[in-house]
Amino acid sequence: MGVAAGYKKEIINITKRLPDDKLKVLIDFAQYLRAKEEFTYMKVGDSAAYVRELRRKEIKRVKSGKRFIEELIEWQKSNS
């Protein structure tokens, strides 16, 4: 536990000196490491289905411009 606590303190000290853009990179990398730790290929039965599922989740998370405009048009039609 002592080693882990030392690493955590070192990360905290480093983040205090980093500019915001570098801090964003550090956070992105930490999230990547966490996701990589949770993922194993043994859990994936069908890689094509797995990729489709990832894309479906990403589409729900991030609206494309086209999808936003389609929703806006539907909303306008429903209000007229």
pLDDT value of residue 1: 53
Average pLDDT score over residue span 29-51: 77
What's the whole-number mean pLDDT along residues 68-74? 82
Confidence of residue 63 (pLDDT cuts 50, 70, 90): low
Q: What is the pLDDT of residue 32?
A: 81
Q: By the 8 A CB rule, do 18 and 26 touch?
A: yes
Please tell me the pTM assigned to this model: 0.43
pLDDT at residue 77, as a whole number: 85
Distances (CA, A) of 66 to 6, 18, 29, 57: 48, 37, 30, 17
